[in-house]
């Protein structure tokens, strides 16, 4: 597809007058409250960022995208853009019907004319799009554990853009960027995609890329959704703003992209290229392990470090953007300068700080050298990541009823209160069921709601610098993982499996519940007539058989110390 980087790109919005009228009419339509990811997708659909898509994928488009990275008409498109909904909503909608799409506040952003409704084969989608049906991949986890069961497809009529209150002046639609490039006379623009703060290696890489392509440079960071555990976008944008003036203003600009990343490595790189083409860019930097999701459940990388470059190269002409490929940049001590890893002069000393090492240094309040980053960036990072013993955290006990969770949790609370410094809140299973979840029973659905409520409260406590101790049964792995992800955005999460066997819990039967469960007087009783999925990757496993409560609580304290969360 040949598009000048100055010509306007088609958008899906209707005129202002029609939008007002449509909005009024749409009030009566069945309406779907978009998830945060869907809001990001919709914004890029409507503003042309996902051109040539005209709406959420139909089944035919989806099938071909999954299998062959192409829409049904053969156009290159590597990523399914689907509207996933729950079964209850899907039952209310039939192909041929219009639905209103609303944001979290209930504002109608668009109307979708539903043409397709189907049950996707998610295992196939995971294998083909992400390379493996492995829950260690964040997008595969999302697919199975967050996304709804049913997909709806069909064209979109855009009514209004999602509203952003943050960094408004830094957000640009594809056409706004195209206009800017036209105004500035920028015919060649190289984009740098990032979900991380900019350090010196990135600056060096982007300088070199612009020079190599003889192009202007657009720092184009993603502020939609990135990998769980990434530095939040507020902090990152403050970091970018702190260093943007280190670039020559006449050749470099910065704009924020509200994309929900999938971390799909090679396919994602191709997708990013198409999105950048739509935003008026002519060149795109693809570095090492582009949009990599980290390790799989066997501890191996999902993709090879340069797979993304290979796939991009293969489709470069169709993407319509030239790749500027880069090797990993490292610092050479003797030369006091950065080099691509494959051009390091022989006999010199290479210095590098990985993302994990950087996080460790921030966590432990250790030095971050100037050769690695800019003091302004480090200052911003330290503000949002104080040393670990100053941050909030959550200790999440899980185990069978009567395993000893509450007793140990209580002892732990008292010990932490004795130490002082941070407020401590105990969210015990029984207490939560009284104050937060009194209307809930013990079906899988209700247990999930219960645990998510606990997770939400714990994440707020953690965000605000407190200590949350949770002690529910929490029998399901996927729900515990969702809670972990909620909390790890703000601080540490320590899962403690109180691994008392069901035989021992039943022998103790402190509340007399096991007897009633055996007699069938309590239904769906965990361990007896309902499942308990034991954690496989808990930070700590406690064996209560033969160890007293004080010693168990002390084990947790020792673990917290070893994680740097409390001072010895």
Contacts with ligand PPS by CB under 6 A lie at: 401-402, 406, 429-430, 433, 442, 447, 450-451, 472-475, 511, 513, 522, 524-526, 530
Annotated binding-site members for ATP: 399-406
Annotated catalytic residue 196: yes
The one catalytic residue among 179, 196, 425, 547: 196
Helix axes 265-278, 307-319, angle to 10 degrees: 30
Is the peptide bond preceding residue 52 cis, with omega within 30 degrees of 0?
Answer: yes
Is residue 195 annotated as part of the catalytic site, yes or no? Answer: yes
Number of neighbouring beta carbons within 10 Å of residue 292: 20
Comparing CA positions, the residue from 177, 118, 184, 127 lying closest to residue 152 is 118
Q: How far is the CB of 136 from ligand PPS (least distance, A)?
A: 24
Q: How far is the CB of 497 from ligand PPS (least distance, A)?
A: 13
The residue among 262 and 480 lying less far from ligand PPS, judged by its C-beta, is 480
Catalytic residue among 5, 157, 175, 195: 195
Which of 173, 194, 206, 479 does the annotation list as catalytic? 194
What is the smallest separation between the CB atom of 138 and ligand PPS, expressed in angstroms? 24
- 38 vs 450, which CB is nearer to ligand PPS? 450
Q: Give the residues across from 192 on adjacent strands.
A: 219
Tokens 């703000």 sit on residue = 490
**N-to-C CA span, the chain:** 62
DSSP per residue over 438-482, as a string? TT--SSHHHHHHHHHHHHHHHHHHHHTT-EEEEE-----HHHHHH
Closest CA to 172 of 278, 77, 244: 278
Decide if 178 is catalytic: no
**Cβ neighbours around 370 below 10 Å, total:** 10
Closest CA to 52 of 322, 263, 318, 313: 318
Closest CA to 305 of 325, 322, 319: 325
Cβ of residue 435: shortest distance to ligand PPS, in angstroms?
Answer: 12
Which lies closer to ligand PPS via its Cβ, residue 58 or residue 450?
A: 450
The one-character DSSP state at 127 is: I
CB of 545 to ligand PPS, least distance (A): 17
Minimum distance, C-beta of residue 506 to ligand PPS, in the bound complex (Å): 12
Q: Which is nearer to ligand PPS, 177 or 451 (CB)?
A: 451
Q: Which is nearer to ligand PPS, 457 or 522 (CB)?
A: 522
How many CB atoms are closer than 10 A to CB 85? 24
Q: Which residues contact 434 (CB under 8 A, 6 or more apart)?
A: none
The CA distance from 429 to 396, in Å, is: 11
Q: How far is CA 358 from the centre of its chain?
A: 20
Q: Which is nearer to ligand PPS, 392 or 429 (CB)?
A: 429
The residues that are catalytic are 194-196
């Amino acid at each position: 597809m040949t598009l000048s980087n100055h010509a306007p790109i088609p958008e899906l919005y209707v005129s202002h007058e029609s939008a007002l009228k449509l909005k009024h009419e749409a009030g009566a339509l069945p309406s779907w409250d978009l998830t945060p990811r869907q809001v990001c997708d919709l914004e890029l659909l409507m503003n042309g960022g996902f051109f040539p898509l005209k709406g959420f994928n139909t089944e035919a488009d989806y099938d071909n995208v999954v299998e062959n990275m192409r829409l049904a008409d053969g156009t290159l498109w590597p990523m399914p853009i689907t509207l996933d909904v729950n079964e209850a909503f899907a039952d209310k909608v039939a192909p041929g019907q219009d639905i209103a799409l609303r944001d979290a506040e209930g504002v109608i952003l668009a109307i979708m004319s539903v043409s397709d409704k189907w049950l996707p084969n998610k295992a196939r989608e995971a294998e083909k799009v992400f390379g493996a049906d492995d829950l260690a991949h964040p997008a595969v986890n999302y697919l199975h554990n967050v996304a709804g069961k049913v997909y709806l497809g069909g064209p979109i009529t855009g009514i209004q853009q999602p509203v952003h209150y943050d960094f408004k002046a830094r957000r640009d639609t594809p056409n706004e960027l195209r206009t800017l490039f036209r105004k500035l006379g920028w015919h060649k623009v190289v984009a740098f995609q990032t979900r991380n703060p900019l350090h010196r290696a990135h600056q060096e890489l982007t300088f070199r890329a612009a020079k190599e392509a003889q192009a202007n440079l657009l720092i184009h960071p993603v502020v939609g959704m990135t990998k769980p555990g990434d530095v939040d976008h507020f902090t990152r944008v403050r970091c970018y703003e702190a260093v943007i003036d280190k670039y020559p203003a006449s050749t470099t600009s910065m704009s924020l992209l509200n994309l929900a990343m999938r971390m799909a490595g090679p396919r994602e790189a191709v997708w990013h290229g198409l999105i950048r083409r739509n935003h008026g860019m002519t060149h795109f930097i693809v570095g090492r392990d582009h949009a990599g999701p980290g390790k799989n459940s066997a501890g191996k990388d999902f993709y090879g470090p340069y797979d993304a470059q290979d796939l991009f190269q293969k489709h470069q002409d169709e993407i319509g953007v030239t790749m500027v490929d880069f090797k990993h940049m490292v610092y050479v001590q003797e030369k006091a300068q950065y080099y691509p890893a494959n051009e390091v002069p022989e006999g010199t000393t290479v210095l590098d700080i990985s993302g994990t090492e950087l996080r460790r240094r921030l966590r432990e309040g250790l030095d971050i050298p100037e050769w690695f980053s800019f003091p302004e960036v480090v200052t911003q990072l330290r503000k949002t990541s104080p040393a670990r013993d100053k941050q909030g955290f959550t200790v999440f006990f899980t185990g069978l009823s009567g395993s000893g969770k509450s007793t140990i949790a209580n002892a732990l609370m008292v010990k932490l209160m004795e130490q002082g410094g941070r407020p401590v809140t105990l969210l015990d299973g029984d207490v939560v069921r009284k104050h937060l979840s009194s209307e809930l029973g013990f079906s899988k659905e209700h247990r999930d709601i219960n645990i998510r409520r606990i997770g939400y409260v714990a994440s707020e406590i953690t965000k605000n610098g407190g200590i949350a101790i949770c002690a529910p049964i929490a029998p399901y792995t996927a729900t515990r993982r969702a809670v972990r992800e909620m909390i790890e955005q703000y601080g540490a999460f320590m899962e403690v499996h109180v691994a008392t066997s069901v035989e021992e819990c039943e022998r103790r039967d402190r509340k007399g519940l096991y007897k009633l469960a055996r007699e069938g007087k309590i239904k769906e009783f965990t361990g007896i007539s309902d499942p308990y999925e034991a954690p496989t990757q808990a930070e700590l496993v406690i064996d209560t058989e033969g160890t007293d409560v004080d010693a168990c609580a002390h084990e947790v304290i020792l673990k917290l110390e070893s994680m740097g969360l409390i001072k010895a």
